[in-house]
Structure 1
Amino acid sequence: MQSDYAGVIVAGGYGTRLAPITHVLPKVLVPVGRRAMLDILVDQMTHLGIRDIHLLLGHQAGLVRAYVDSSPHLGELASLTLHTDTGDLGTAGPLRRVHARARHLLVMNGDVFTTADLGALTNRHASDGSALTVATTEFTTTIPYGVLHSDDRSRLMTVDEKPSLEWAVSAGIYAVGPEALALVEAGGPDEMPGLIQRCLKHGLQVSTHRLTGGAWFDLGTEDGYRSSLRHSESRDATDPVPAP
C-alpha cells in the first residue's frame, strides 16, 4: 500500500504527435485494447493503494471531465481532482497546483502505457530517500551505415556495420518528494528536465529506476500506439493492467 503517495496524471498537451487521432480524442482517452488510457492509469495507481489522484488537463479538458462524470466506476476507485487549465504549464509546472496530504507524488504522463511493476519504483524511491526518482526504459538506435574507427594517423582500424546503441531514457513516470516539489518554478511553465537539473544543482539526491516486469510504450507516436495495440491483442486480455 502506498498511502503516502498521491497520484498525478499529466495530460494537458495537444497530443500533436498522435494526430489525427487526437483531433477527436485527448490522448488520455485514447483506447488501448478495450479500455481508455485513463482507466488503465487509474487502475494502476489504485492497485498500489493510491486513492487521491489528480488529473492535470488542458487541451480538450471538457471531454475528459465528461468521461469522468459518466464513469462512476472511476469515482468508486479513487478521489479524482481535475485541474483543467494546466495545458500551458509544461510537464512539471502543473505540479504546483496539486495540494495533497500525501508527502510524495507518483507522476505519470498520460500517453505512457506500461505493464511494468510500478510498486518497485515507489518502493525504491522510499528506500533510497531520494528527492526525485526517474523511471527509465531502454531505447535502441541503429545507425544505418558502417561506422569507421581510425587511429590518430587516419589509418582505418575497424568497421562496425550498422551498429546498435542502447540508451537509458526517461519513461515519463516519476516519484517526486517534497524537496523536489519545492523547486518547481512558481510562475509560468516548467519542464521535468529543468526540475531534475535544479534538484541536482541544489545537491538533492535524484535516482533512476529501470522499469522491469513488463512492457513500455510511448502512445505519443503512431508507431508506439500501434505497438501497444499489438501487445494488448497478443495478451488476449480485457484488462492490460497486471495484477497487484
Structure 2
Amino acid sequence: MKVLILAGGFGTRLSEETHLIPKPMVEIGGRPMLWHIMKIYSTYGFNDFIILLGYKGYVIKEYFANYFLHENDVTIDIANNKIETHSQNNVEPWKVTLVNTGINTMTGGRLKRALPYLNDGQPFMFTYGDGVCNVDIQALVSFHKQHDKLITMTAVQPEGRFGAMKIGDDMAVNSFEEKPEGEGGWINGGFFVCQPKVLDYIKGDETMFEREPLNMLVRDRQLVAYKHKDFWQCMDTLRDKRMLESMWEEENPRWKIW
C-alpha cells in the first residue's frame, strides 16, 4: 500500500525554521520531521512513499537524491570522477516518488495530483508532513478494512485548541465543530487510510481536503474514526518543535517505535 505525505505547505507559523526549508525538513534529533514520519510507516512494513511537494520542494528532492551518499562511507576519486561506496548498512528500504504539486495548491489538490502514481483500485494511506505519533499502522489498516468505508481518519485527543469532531457509537463521524471549550475533544490526527474514490470528492487544486471533501464524506456516512488514545504531536510552532527536540534529547521520543 502506498503512503502519501503532504509536504508542500509554507509553514508560516514556524517561519523561524521554514524561511529556508520546507516544514517537513525541520529537524528533530538531527533528522527531518519527514524522516521520522517515514520511519513510523516503515516499521510496519510500508515503504512505498509519494511525497507531495510545493514550497521549496527542491530541498526534499536533493535530500533523497543524496540520501545514499550521506548515509555511507565513501571514497571520492575527483581526478577520475568516481565514487566508491564502502558500506551499505544504513540504507532504508524505501521507494520514494517526489511529485511537484504546485506552490499554492491546497491539500485536496495535492492529493488529487498523486492519482497517476497510485495503484489502480487499491487503497492508499496519507498523512501530513508535520506530525508524529505512535499509532499502530497495521491495526489502523485492519480497522479500515473491517468498516468498509471510503476513508478512515486517525482521531486523537490533544488539548482543546483545535476544531473537533463528534463520533457516533458505530465510529462514524457525525459532524465537526470549531475549537470546543476544555480538553478531550477528538480531532483529526492525520494518518488516513483511503479508497481511491475519496479523490472523486476533490474538485481541483483550490480544494482544501479538510473542508468540503471531508464534510461531504461525513454527509455520505463514508468517514470513520480510528481512536488513538496514546501519543500524538504536531509541529505547528517553534514551541512544538522545541518540545519534540527535548523529548528526543531526553531519550523519550514516544513516537520512536523503530
Identity %: 21
Q: 1:191, 1:87 → 2: CA distance? A: 16
Q: 1:89, 1:64 → 2: CA distance? A: 17
**Structure 1: any 5+ residue segments left out of the alignment?**
143-162
Cα distance change of structure 1 residues 42 and 12 upon mapping to structure 2, 3 Å threshold: same
Tell me how many residue pairs correspond in the alignment: 216
**8 Å contact 2:44–2:138 — kept in the other structure?**
yes
Equivalent position to 1:193, from 200, 211, 229: 211
Tell me the equivalent position of 1:179: 197
Q: Which amino acid aligns with 1:188?
A: E
Q: 1:165, 1:80 → 2: CA distance? A: 38
Q: Deviations over 1:182-204 (max 9, x none)?
A: 22214533322321112233x24
How far is 1:88 from its partner? 2.0
| Two-structure CA RMSD over aligned residues (Å) | 2.4
Equivalent position to 2:27, from 25, 31, 47: 31
Tell me the equivalent position of 2:172: none
Cα distance change of structure 1 residues 220 and 35 upon mapping to structure 2, 3 Å threshold: same
Q: Deviations over 1:78-100 (max 9, x none)?
A: 22111123342212221112221
Q: Give the number of the structure whose residues are more often strand, by fraction.
A: 1
Q: Deviations over 1:59-87 (max 9, x none)?
A: 11111111111102697522211112334
Tell me the equivalent position of 1:241: 256
Tell me which stretches of 4 or more aligned residues in structure 1 moved more than 3 Å: 73-76, 186-190
Describe the SS at the equivalent of 2:185: strand
Q: If the length of structure 2 is used for normalisation, what is the TM-score?
A: 0.75
Cα distance change of structure 1 residues 92 and 35 upon mapping to structure 2, 3 Å threshold: same
Equivalent position to 2:43, from 44, 47, 52: 47
How far is 1:177 from its partner? 1.1
Q: 1:58, 1:45 → 2: CA distance? A: 22
Tell me the equivalent position of 1:118: 137
- The answer to whether structure 1 residue 105 and structure 2 residue 118 are counterparts is no
- The answer to whether structure 1 residue 95 and structure 2 residue 121 are counterparts is no
Tell me the equivalent position of 2:79: none
**Structure 2: any 5+ residue segments left out of the alignment?**
72-89, 162-180
Cα distance change of structure 1 residues 12 and 70 upon mapping to structure 2, 3 Å threshold: same
